[in-house]
Structure 1
Amino acid sequence: MLNQQTFQFEKVSAIKVSEFIREQLEEAIILKEMLSEDQLPSERELAEIFNASRITVREALSALEAKGLIEKRVGAKGGTFILPITANAHKRTKEEIMRDWDQMLHVFEYRTIVEPEGAFLAAERITAGELELLESYIVQSVQPDCSREWFRALDVKFHLTIAKASGNPYLESAVRQIRTKINPALDLMPYNEQVRSLNQGVHTEILEALKAHDPARSRDTMKKHIAFSADAIYSRLVSPEQQEGNEQ
């Protein structure tokens, strides 16, 4: 007879098709792959994309609307549109993040293992085109007309491009998972010239290490950057009085 204590099976958890659709759309929104004011395909088109019924798609969209991620508009220019995440993040996510802070700490821990090693591999495998992409993200992030939402999107693109450059699809998938978990917390960060300048500096440091194809320096620089981000998120959440005057 098998000893059940030697196994760690998970209990069966049936997921509704609408939840499956909602999770994929929510991930794309949180990872800024769909941006504020982008229009979603129609219910009919989404039903075809997901091979599901329109009723199921409608249920998924209702869940996203309840979370404040999308908005349905009527009229000649109506449809379903993505709402600006960063503008509403402080209303929607702060209490949720604090409530699940222990889980967030596990994600931070996981990130300090995964992303630095991804940068290590990327330094060996990154292409000239990917380096140009990273540089363009940094340049765009300091432009005077760079909005808060686009700034956050560029940050995500920067990190996901490095993960893809690692050449390891499992690692890339892990970074996507991590960013989906931490982006709501990062969206709570202030947005001002000091933040933009600091971001430019650390991202440029990472980029230079990648350009030099220096795996060890790329890993160490990424690890330092991630540790700083975790500390900033923690300070932001536990010291709400420091938020005054930091928003733009």
Structure 2
Amino acid sequence: MSSESHLRFEKVTAKKVSEFIREQLEEAIILKELLSEERLPTERELAEIFNVSRITVREALSELESKGLIEKRVGAKGGTFVLPVTANSHKRTRTEIKRDWELMLKVFEYRTIIEPEGAFLAAERITAGELELLRSYLDKSMEPDCTREWFRALDVKFHLTIAKASGNPYYEAAVRQIRTKINPALDLMPYDEEIRSLNYGIHMEILAALQSHDRELSRDMMSRHIGNSAHAIYARLIAVDEEGDSHS
């Protein structure tokens, strides 16, 4: 019998170099590593960073601009700037989330395995510096002038720092991949004082478990925290739309 039936190779697809650049920049924007109103390096600088032509960089930036993630401004203080993800492209993003909901559920299923186990490892390996960093993120999230965009950025930083503290680069890479997929949905969730306080309380419980180096508790706290994410997003972003459709 031929062994071909047991092999699961993927077909080769041609991908332009500009797509690789666009994906890296888009991930940095979605993960809040490039923040709202931050100016990107010039086309020439990006071409040097990626070792490509300026035309290739221009193609990547054009795609990001069409997605509403960046905009080009002219004038003395002009350049290419990151737009606030939480305040733009709401209808487009909501439509995409609704369309790809079954795939999103699989991402959340994956998350319920990865992040709690990452917290389990982090409880044993986390450093004093990383604990201090986590606390600083929580303190900043409760400052009176904390904007919606900055709040979402701090939330991402909190989870990525725990993943890094696991000491396992595979967990860190997995959480980055997960957050890149789910952040567009989380960015559209409500933002008010109640949400801030609730988020702060849950994150403080996770931080306390990590500080005590309690592996089981850290895993349980993280599991509880992320367990209802899919239900919350469905209730806020999809069920509301479906209810509206049924009454239209």
Q: Please tell me the TM-score bracket, short chain as reference.
A: over 0.9
Secondary structure in structure 2 of the residue aligned to 1:175: helix
Alignment match, 1:181: 181
Q: State the alpha-carbon separation in 2 of the partners of residues 242 and 97 from structure 1.
A: 13
% same residue = 76
Q: State the alpha-carbon separation in 2 of the partners of residues 166 and 242 from structure 1.
A: 40
Secondary structure in structure 1 of the residue aligned to 2:228: helix
1:94-243 maps to which residues of 2 (within 5 A)? 94-240=94-240
Tell me if the contact between 1:89 and 1:184 (Cα under 8 Å) persists in the aligned partners: no
- Tell me the matched-pair count: 244
Q: State the alpha-carbon separation in 1 of the partners of residues 202 and 28 from structure 2.
A: 25
| TM-aligned CA deviation for residue 92 of structure 1 | 2.8
Moved over 3 A (4+): none
The range that moved more, 208-217 or 82-91, is 82-91
| TM-aligned CA deviation for residue 24 of structure 1 | 0.1
Query: Which amino acid in 2 is paired with 1:196?
Result: R
Secondary structure in structure 1 of the residue aligned to 2:58: helix
Alignment match, 2:246: none
Alignment match, 1:246: none
Secondary structure in structure 2 of the residue aligned to 1:93: helix
Q: Deviations over 1:52-100 (max 9, x none)?
A: 0000000000000000000000111110000000011523300001111
TM-score by length of 1: 0.95
Q: State the alpha-carbon separation in 2 of the partners of residues 159 and 17 from structure 1.
A: 30
Query: Which amino acid in 2 is paired with 1:92?
Result: R
Q: State the alpha-carbon separation in 1 of the partners of residues 241 and 101 from structure 2.
A: 19
**How much is the aligned-residue C-alpha RMSD, in angstroms?**
1.6
Tell me if the contact between 1:236 and 1:242 (Cα under 8 Å) persists in the aligned partners: no
Tell me if the contact between 2:68 and 2:89 (Cα under 8 Å) persists in the aligned partners: no
Alignment match, 2:49: 49
Query: Which amino acid in 1 is paired with 2:88?
Result: N
1:50-89 maps to which residues of 2 (within 5 A)? 50-89=50-89
Tell me if the contact between 1:89 and 1:187 (Cα under 8 Å) persists in the aligned partners: no
Q: State the alpha-carbon separation in 2 of the partners of residues 90 and 194 from structure 1.
A: 22
Tell me if the contact between 1:115 and 1:163 (Cα under 8 Å) persists in the aligned partners: yes
Q: Deviations over 1:94-145 (max 9, x none)?
A: 0001111111011000000100000000000000000000011111111110
Query: Which amino acid in 2 is paired with 1:110?
Result: Y
Question: Does 2:10 match 1:5?
Answer: no
